[in-house]
A and B are shown apart, each in its own frame.
Chain A
Amino acid sequence: MPLTTDLSYNWSQALADLNQIAAIATLTGFFLLAVVVDLVLPRSRRGGAVAIVAVVGFSYSLASATYRWRYAQGGPAYHGFATGDNFALFFEVLFASLGILTVALSHSYLKRRGLLESEFHLLVMAAVIGMMVLASATSLVTVFLGLETLSIALYIMCGYARTESRSQEAAAKYLLVGGFASAFVLYGMALVYGGSGTTVIPEIAKNLASSATGNPLLLLGILLMGVGFAFKVSAAPFHMWTPDVYQGAPLPVTAFMSVGTKAAAFAMIIRVFAGGLPHLAPEWQTLLAFVAATSMIAGNLMAIVQTSLKRLLAYSGVAQAGYMLIGVIAGGQNGLAAVLYYLFVYMFMNFGAFAVITMLTDADGERDSFGDLEGLGRRNWLLAGAMTVFMLSLAGFPPSVGFFGKLFLFTAGVGAGYTWLVVLAVLMSVVSVFYYIRVLIPIWTPSPRLERVPASLSTQLAIGLSGVASLGLGLYPTTLFIAGQLGAGPLSP
């Protein structure tokens, strides 16, 4: 796009544009407020105050996104750089909820570990802003800016426990690998821009309608972007960083990023590939099918041999990314709706699982071996029950959300003709049952350990909510699936 200036841009138009990104704007306002609050309050009060500002900000953001979902007309804003369509709103609701859960979980964790609280919440807010920007971006420029905002906040959060070498290692690794991934994405975007002449995603699709096939620039661009995206969703063979970073980062960060980055990266993949390059679908579908297959195999097989719960969940995350990619490949309203549904429920089950492990943390540090789960059934029945629900859900037992999520994904996959991929996915799900159940054994076997696992009210609420959602949305999946279909609407032909 040539450097154009639109000097007729005026206040009323700016206000309309601001309405389209209401959720982001609200959260940004509260983010700035939180910075000021952190600056002016005395040190002892800062943490709690910033946490409250963060929760209020997320709630307002959630409310405004919900309101717009119900009553407002979504459309492009800021000269095609952003949009307020249902797809964006769906993810904004998801990310705002995730933000509330993370703040609730980290409050007591940070206190227990003696880490500063206010900066952590600020970074969570910043990362969520980045994720929302990513979900609502309709230009390669804003996609990249959202990706970077999110990534930079997460790099810092990974190294948040500054005195621990594990945490530092995680931050350094994530920074390097993330930097590589961003560079790949950027290079791919540059080539796509060169091939299509615009960075606005719907216009890319329009420009390429006639001349898409056979332009090597675009193929190379798709390849490079695909590699970068695969890094971000931690799909094999670009998943090597995941276990190390998940293990080294402080637990609430792991919980947050395992869900948040994945959802944001999927939003990005769907936006760019399904929204911008529908005419090159065979090319990127082949690429993603390969990535999906390797992820499911590598993730599930590697998860079996892990002894650390964090690493186990990391590999499980790699496998889950593979399942979700099936929905993206299948495409269409049902395929994308299945992805959106799965991402939403994945938030509850995976975040919940990490939250339970977070609760095991004591003054000496984090506890994430199987032995630490011993006798949890008697030490804290709420955590034990919730963990059972999460594990069964991740494994895909009915009537949990995981079952329906996989059902929707696999149906869409078969419908689109990717039977071989779905067969592989089902086989691998069976394998996964082994290691998910393995987590449950120490929880429910009788054990001499009886000391209680303390859990603060906010964490109990977060875990309880996740558990209830993991069951409830499974017992009654219709509403969320319809919401997913509405969300997928703008991007399915």
Chain B
Amino acid sequence: MFFVAAAMAILGGIGVISFHQPIRSVLSLVVVMLALSVEFLLLSAQFIFAVQIIVYAGAVMVLFLFVIALLGPARELGRGRLRFQAWLSGLFVVVLLGLMWAMLQGVQYRQPDSKADMSVFGTVQAIGAGLFTTYLYPFELTSILLLVAAIGAIYLSRKRIDDL
């Protein structure tokens, strides 16, 4: 199951960069998101599974789709490439994969933490309690980060300077 979802995610990732129509790239990205959510479910993080689908697949990607549908079905033009780009990139991919493979030869994998209580892990209650005790600081920081992003988006997206 893990490998099925992982393969889906990788295929989706390849789809994102290889389709010529932007809308298909977006849909490939949706596939990646869904595959990732399955991985979360396999790690018994049910809440994150649901949230991943609701937030990424349900909201973020729909906005991508929205923008691309508005811009129309223009195909990305295949020009502006170097002559040997395909060959060169293929070579780099092979070299990179080889290097990574060589590096990962001596990995010592860590054992999973046996202390974790699997009956509580990943439930909404556990995550909620964690967010407001142990992870309070990162949680609040995230809210500031989102506030800043919202201020910026409002500033950049209004039509005229005195619109607000």
Contacts and interface: CB of A to CB of B under 8 A. Distances in A.
Chains A and B touch each other in the complex, with CB atoms below 8 Å apart: yes
Interface of A: 2-7, 9, 14, 17, 21, 28, 31, 35, 43, 77-79, 81-82, 114-116, 119, 122-123, 126, 129-130, 133, 139, 141-142, 145-146, 148-149, 152-153, 155-156, 159-160, 162, 194-195, 197, 211, 214-217, 219-220
28 contacts: A3-B121, A4-B134, A5-B126, A5-B129, A5-B134, A6-B133, A6-B134, A9-B134, A9-B136, A79-B134, A81-B135, A81-B137, A119-B151, A123-B148, A126-B144, A126-B148, A130-B145, A149-B145, A149-B148, A152-B149, A152-B152, A156-B151, A156-B152, A194-B110, A195-B110, A214-B106, A215-B106, A220-B100
A142 B156 contact: no
B162 interface: yes
B141 A133 contact: yes
Contacts of B142: 145
Given A119-B155, A216-B105, A3 B148 contact: no
Interface of B: 100, 103-108, 110, 113, 115-116, 121-122, 126-127, 129-130, 133-138, 141-142, 144-145, 147-149, 151-152, 155-156, 161-162
B129 A7 contact: yes
B141 A123 contact: no
Contact of A153 (B104, B130, B152): B152
A216 B104 contact: yes
Contact of A123 (B113, B130, B133, B151): B151
Nearest to B151: A122
Given A3-B121, A123-B148, A156-B152, A142 B103 contact: no
A385 B115 CA distance: 65
B116 A3 contact: yes
Contacts of A129: 144
Nearest to A13: B133
A78 B103 contact: no
B141 A146 contact: yes
Nearest to A149: B145
A81 B137 CA distance: 7
A14 B133 CA distance: 9
Contacts of A130: 145, 148
B133 A9 contact: yes
Sorted nearest first, the 4 A-B pairs with minimum C-beta distance are A156-B152, A78-B137, A9-B133, A2-B116
A330 B96 CA distance: 31
Contact of A162 (B107, B126, B156): B156
